């Protein structure tokens, strides 16, 4: 067991395993129709020294898995240094990005590997180059993506296609997943569309205006895909079923969300939120006490990362998720 996996297991057994999404900047290259962050002014980049302290505090609170996000986290001039601190604290890390060309600049793939980064998760909405370019407003994005994947393949860092379920792909997930595999992604994660109430992390828009029935149809097709041997989708089928139940009737969701308690969002002001969805901060990571994270479970939305990870914290009822994760994506850690 490597040190980071050991850290996850140790914190899990102690009951205080936490996962965090840490947004390093609101600056972005893409102009996605379902996100308002790229329109924000002024552009804010986290202070590097404070970010390193924030990582130490998060590690002390039990954070053992962290996603670096933005905006576009790799636009932060010291993103690699920040990743390196996470690795030193045995935090498994994923770098999220929408603009794959960032992996091709400044030897970034190799520098991330040297910093101990575990995974790059790249937005992948469609196998069609024109739709991809249109949806992210980045010309030639597919060519950049192919070259970025080739660069990352030469390192130990794993790659994940981050597939947002949206109006253009909800009924063709198999095609999108097949194309992600053909391009060489190691894993696929599905993101369930959501409209946030947050003024910091603005999510929503016409492109993701799916009806609950359309999203249910899409998730049911993903659950079928999960039955196929070698499927690279990491979302647990049991968790997707939970979201299907939620969409049919929120009261029938068996697994509530531990936003704040076990999963959290830290923004570019170091303010901590239960998730990217809710508008009220729980405190500032540089000054807050750990007990501020002990908030009641929530069942207010279907946001994937928060809902999926929360299913692992339900005691014996989490066993199906744990077994599934161990079987299907053990190589992720």
Question: Which residues of the chain form contacts with ligand SF4 (CB under 6 A)?
Answer: 257, 259, 274-275, 277-278, 298-301, 303, 306
Partners of 263 in the beta sheet?
A: 19, 259
CB of 325 to ligand SF4, least distance (A): 19
Report the residue number, 115 or 264, with the smaller CB distance to ligand SF4.
264
CB 64 within 8 A of CB 48: no
Q: Is the Cβ of residue 100 or residue 259 nearer to ligand SF4 in the bound state?
A: 259
Q: Provide the minimum distance between the beta carbon of 229 and ligand SF4 in the complex, in angstroms, as a whole number.
A: 32
Q: Which is nearer to ligand SF4, 87 or 198 (CB)?
A: 198
Q: Is the dihedral of CA 312, 317, 325, 277 positive or negative?
A: negative
Q: Could you tell me the smallest distance in angstroms from the CB atom of residue 262 to ligand SF4? A: 10
Query: What is the C-alpha separation between 273 and 287, in angstroms, rounded?
Result: 14
Minimum separation from the CB atom of position 42 to ligand SF4 (A) = 27
253 φ, ψ (degrees, to nearest 5): -75, 120
Distance between CA 77 and CA 239 in Å, rounded?
Answer: 36
Least distance to ligand SF4, CB of residue 278, Å = 5
Evaluated on CA atoms 168, 170, 175, 180, the torsion sign reads: positive
H/E stretch holding 20 reads strand 18-23
The 10 Å Cβ neighbour count of residue 129 is 14
By beta-carbon proximity to ligand SF4, the closer residue of 79 and 275 is 275
213 token code pair: 């029935």
Q: Which is nearer to ligand SF4, 41 or 199 (CB)?
A: 199
Least distance to ligand SF4, CB of residue 273, Å: 8
Given the complex with ligand SF4, which of 185 and 265 has the nearer CB atom?
A: 265
Strand partners for 57? none
């Amino acid at each position: 067991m490597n040190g980071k996996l050991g850290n996850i297991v140790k914190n899990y057994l102690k009951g205080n395993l936490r996962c965090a999404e840490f947004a390093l900047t609101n600056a972005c290259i893409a102009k996605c129709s379902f996100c308002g962050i790229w329109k924000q002014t002024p552009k804010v980049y986290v202070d590097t020294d404070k970010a390193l302290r924030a990582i130490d505090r998060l590690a002390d609170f039990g954070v053992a898995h962290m996603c670096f996000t933005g905006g576009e986290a790799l636009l932060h001039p010291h993103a690699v240094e920040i990743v390196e601190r996470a690795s030193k604290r045995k935090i498994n890390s994923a770098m999220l990005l929408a603009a794959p060309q960032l992996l091709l600049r400044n030897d970034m793939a190799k520098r991330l590997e040297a910093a101990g980064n575990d995974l790059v998760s790249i937005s992948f909405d469609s196998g069609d180059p024109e739709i991809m370019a249109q949806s992210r407003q980045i010309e030639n994005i597919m060519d950049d993506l192919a070259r970025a994947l080739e660069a990352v393949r030469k390192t130990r860092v794993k790659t994940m296609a981050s597939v947002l379920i949206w109006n253009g792909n909800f009924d063709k997930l198999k095609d999108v997943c097949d194309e992600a595999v053909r391009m060489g992604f190691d894993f696929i994660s599905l993101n369930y569309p959501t409209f946030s109430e947050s003024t910091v992390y603005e999510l929503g828009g016409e492109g993701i205006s799916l009806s609950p029935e359309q999203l249910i149809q899409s998730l049911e097709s993903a659950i079928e895909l999960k039955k196929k041997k070698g499927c690279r989708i990491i979302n647990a089928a049991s968790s997707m079923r939970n979201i299907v139940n939620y969409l049919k009737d929120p009261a029938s969701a068996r697994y509530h969300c531990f936003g704040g308690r076990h999963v959290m969002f830290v923004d570019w002001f170091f303010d901590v939120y239960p998730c990217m969805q809710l508008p009220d901060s729980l405190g500032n990571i540089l000054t807050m006490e750990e007990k501020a994270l002990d908030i009641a479970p929530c069942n207010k939305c279907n946001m994937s990362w928060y809902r999926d990870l929360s299913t692992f914290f339900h005691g014996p009822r989490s066993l199906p998720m744990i077994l599934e994760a161990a079987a299907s994506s053990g190589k992720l850690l």
